Structure 1
Amino acid sequence: MEEMAFVKIRHLVTVAMLLSSTLMGCHFESRNPPSSKTLQVSMDEVSKQNSITQNATLMVGNTLKVQLGSNYTTPYRWTADMKIGDSSILKQESHVYVAPSTDALGAPGNEVWTFTALKSGTTTISTNYSSFVGKNTGPVCQYSAIVTVQ
């Protein structure tokens, strides 16, 4: 009889520990959930401006997406590897071209970069939209963002 009481108590303690760790895990996760911020520039803005600067503030561990208009039916592209002022603060994870969602001839898509915030501080990221053919391959548009990680 005494052994059965001990087994019941041990079972209750185990259940209580599992519940408390589950509840605490939810509590801490909800305090600072990972999040993502997106900076966007349309193809219309890219074609009308020769310099674009944006600002973003993130928490350590968060993701920053930069989405810039781009038209792959022309010889113009954004530089795939963004220049990062301080790579100990921000890390480029990826760069992809996202085709337009229409079949319209000459429709622009987007180039999308993903970054991870590594530590607190402020840095800049930048890229150029320029032609990959011909002699004059200077940028038609320069993009930069000032990124603050807290």
Structure 2
Amino acid sequence: MEEILNSLKRKIGKEITFSFKVNDDSFLWSEDTKLLEYHALSTSALLEEVHRSGYLTLKEELSDGFTSVVFSTSLKHLKPTPYSFNVFIKLKIVNIKKNEVIFEGEAFDENEKIAEFKFSRIIISANYLKRKIHEKASKINGYQ
């Protein structure tokens, strides 16, 4: 774990960019059928892409047997983004506290800034996560 954290500390403050295109109905704002007609990027889809960007940033540094999970998150969705637009996520690792990696960043569409965010991911053993999920599931109806 110490080797992983030391490697990640070298990335503190460096901007990393990811992008995606709003080109699938799963990206659309659909909490209300009228909203679906607007063909706009949903906050939940944007948040998923932000979290995925953090995961991918850490994944390349994690050795076998480790993964990362979202621990906390905050997102301000500032502007709507229409269907077919490209979205660019710019994030930085701003701090590392024990096994918690803290990110901050912004998202832009082709015209303007659409979001600001801060979130953290915890680096944990994949086996630990699997064991905890199994323990919890087994408490319900004897799930094995």
TM bucket by the smaller chain? under 0.3
Structure 1 length normalisation: TM-score? 0.26
Bigger radius of gyration among the two: 1
Quick check: which one's strand share is greater?
1
Structure 2 length normalisation: TM-score? 0.27
